[in-house]
Amino acid sequence: MNRNRVIELYLKGFSIRKIAKITGFSKSKVHRILKGEFGEQNLKKDMELYRRLSDGLKEKIRLLLTTRTEEKGQSRVLSYSQIYDFLVLDFIQENLKISKARFYQFIKYFIIREFGSLEKLEQQRRLKREISKFIQSKGSVKRELGLWEIDATGYIYNGKNYSIMQVIDTFTGYVFPSMIVENKEKNAKHYNKAFNSLDVAYYLMTLFIQYGVPKAIKSDNEKIIKNDYITEALKELKVKHIKTKPYSPNSKVIERFFRELKDTARMLRAAGFEGEFNELWHKSIEWFNKKEHNFKHINGQFSPLELVNVYGLGTREEKEDIIRMAFAEKFTRKIINNQIRIEGLIYDFTLPKEDNQLGRKKKYKEVIVYRDLENITNLFVYDAETGEYLGVAKLTTQANPQSLETITDKQIKQKQKRIERRVKKLEEEKTLLGIEAMELSNDNEIGKSLIETETDDFETEAELDKTEIELEENQSSQSDNDDLNIFENLIEEEF
């Protein structure tokens, strides 16, 4: 089985190194298998047989190999056995003794000689939507039907900094509508500051409702995507979450899409586009989805919209309520006086079965509640112990009138808080710098006064030293005069 796999990959045009990597064999073993299959003797026999075939017979073999019929929407091609049966009389007429086993060996050489590889033959005789089933991708990045990628990028437009969250379908290359926010905070280029987990949940929820639930989603290791909230939601919807290796941007297809989308946006601006950034990015996506691209995993040039029409998106339909419940906010609370409180909001809820315990022995019921991302007026209440559905709690009053906000309002509020914290930090740094400057100025004044004092002390000491030297000189000269007078008196006494 593995030997046939090696031969199959070789006929598709894979190198010995790639075949060894795919099959797990050593390169020497792959070489031995191929040498045994396509040895020099067999190769010479195939070349000799090919030379003896007439041009008309070669053309007939090519025609039989590319013949295709359609049945129930699928293509049907002739097997090697059927082709051999059609050619038996031709072989007899040209005095060629070819057994079926020999023909099976020769037809592989013929395909490589005439079409280049089995892969290129499949491109010619299969329907466009079936090509990927018979062609193995040689690319390093896995691209499967139903595999989505999510990531974010930034773009500066008219002096404003925007963050874009984007999802693409890796197989068809289809680019979905994006989520765009303007960064009010300066230098907030990293999308972790522009988006949070609620944004990711809301974005995925809207896509799942509109386009269906994919088989898997690939993302990087950012906290806003790989946290428990998003992970549990995807798990509940049976969506596999694939995380890329850190510092491996080449393992994601979406990075290439971002480059082309930005190039398209620049081209539209150069052509005279004037409008809002949301409209510019939407036009770039629309242009990308209609334009033909070279998809190596399908071996051809197609537009994403064309591939979506042929293959679909590989998603499955799911009830909207189930999707919304999977991405709903989850809280654990206690029912106190028939009320549930969440973030300053009060929801009224009465348990179906009244608790008979009274006074200090009374225990408040613990429940798990779910709140929809787009409608916070209702809570879906479940028993925390049994998981039994208890009912819906209704928003009645608000402890804080400003608590009833949309997600967008909360995002703006969060950004304003970040700006305020940043301004406060800058003011504190400015104050510290002012204090340090004053201290440095005071130190300079003190240093200056110390230098002046030391200079005065030096001058004073110098004057004192000078006075002492003069006194010593005077004393020395006086002593010398006294000695001279004594010496003169002694001389006079002698004489």
In tens, the pLDDT along 221-258 reads 777 777 788 888 898 999 998 888 766 666 778 888 88
Alpha-carbon distance of 169 to 143, in angstroms, equals 9
Q: Do 226 and 248 fall into the same domain?
A: yes
Predicted pLDDT of residue 117? 75
Pick the range with the lowest mean pLDDT from 70-79, 144-153, 475-484.
Answer: 475-484
- Please identify, among 245, 278, 311, the residue that sits at the C-terminal boundary of a domain: 311
Q: Which residue has the higher pLDDT, 157 or 298?
A: 157
Indicate if the pLDDT at residue 12 is higher than 90. no
Q: Do 342 and 370 fall into the same domain?
A: yes
Q: Do 113 and 231 fall into the same domain?
A: no
* 201 found inside a domain: yes
* 17 found inside a domain: no
Predicted pLDDT of residue 176? 95
Indicate if the pLDDT at residue 58 is higher than 80. yes
Q: Which residue has the higher pLDDT, 242 or 47?
A: 242
Q: What is the pLDDT of residues 278-333, one digit of tens each?
A: 999 999 999 999 988 887 777 667 889 888 887 888 888 999 889 988 888 888 88
Reported as type and span, the H/E element at residue 367 is strand 365-371
Task: Judge whether 229 and 197 are in contact, CB under 8 Å.
Answer: yes
Q: Do 123 and 158 fall into the same domain?
A: no
Q: Do 128 and 157 fall into the same domain?
A: no
Residues of the chain above pLDDT 90, percent: 12
Record the pTM. Answer: 0.55
* 19 found inside a domain: no
Q: What is the pLDDT of residues 78-125, one digit of tens each?
A: 888 889 999 999 998 889 888 888 888 888 888 877 887 777 788 888
Alpha-carbon separation of residue 363 from 357, 391, 461 (angstroms): 8, 20, 90
pLDDT band for position 138 (cuts 50, 70, 90): very low
Predicted pLDDT of residue 13? 64
Q: Do 104 and 72 fall into the same domain?
A: yes
Q: Do 215 and 304 fall into the same domain?
A: yes
Average pLDDT over residues 134-140: 52
158: region left, alpha or beta (phi > 0 left; psi from -120 to 50 alpha): left
Cβ neighbours around 338 below 10 Å, total = 11
Q: Which of 147, 174, 153 is nearest to 242 (CA)?
A: 147
Mean pLDDT for the chain overall: 77
Q: Do 122 and 156 fall into the same domain?
A: no
Q: Do 440 and 480 fall into the same domain?
A: yes
Predicted pLDDT of residue 212? 92
Predicted pLDDT of residue 139? 46
Indicate if the pLDDT at residue 408 is higher than 90. no
Indicate if the pLDDT at residue 483 is higher than 60. no
Predicted pLDDT of residue 208? 93
The CATH number linked to 167 is: 3.30.420.10
* 304 found inside a domain: yes
Average pLDDT over residues 62-73: 84
Predicted pLDDT of residue 25? 83
* Number of folded domains that form the chain: 4
* 49 found inside a domain: yes
- Please identify, among 84, 112, 134, the residue that sits at the C-terminal boundary of a domain: 134
pLDDT band for position 494 (cuts 50, 70, 90): very low
Predicted pLDDT of residue 284? 92
* 129 found inside a domain: yes
Predicted pLDDT of residue 403? 47
Predicted pLDDT of residue 489? 54
Predicted pLDDT of residue 148? 92
* 320 found inside a domain: no
- Please identify, among 87, 106, 134, the residue that sits at the C-terminal boundary of a domain: 134
Q: Which residue has the higher pLDDT, 158 or 449?
A: 158
Q: Do 415 and 468 fall into the same domain?
A: yes
pLDDT band for position 358 (cuts 50, 70, 90): low
Tokens of 240: 């596999």
Predicted pLDDT of residue 474? 57
Q: Do 110 and 155 fall into the same domain?
A: no
Query: Helix or strand or coil: residue 297?
Result: coil
Q: Do 200 and 239 fall into the same domain?
A: yes
Pairing of strands 147-157, 216-219: parallel
Alpha-carbon distance of 459 to 298, in angstroms, equals 94
Indicate if the pLDDT at residue 490 is higher than 50. no
Range of the domain at 425: 405-495
Indicate if the pLDDT at residue 430 is higher than 80. no
Tokens of 470: 């003069």
* 187 found inside a domain: yes
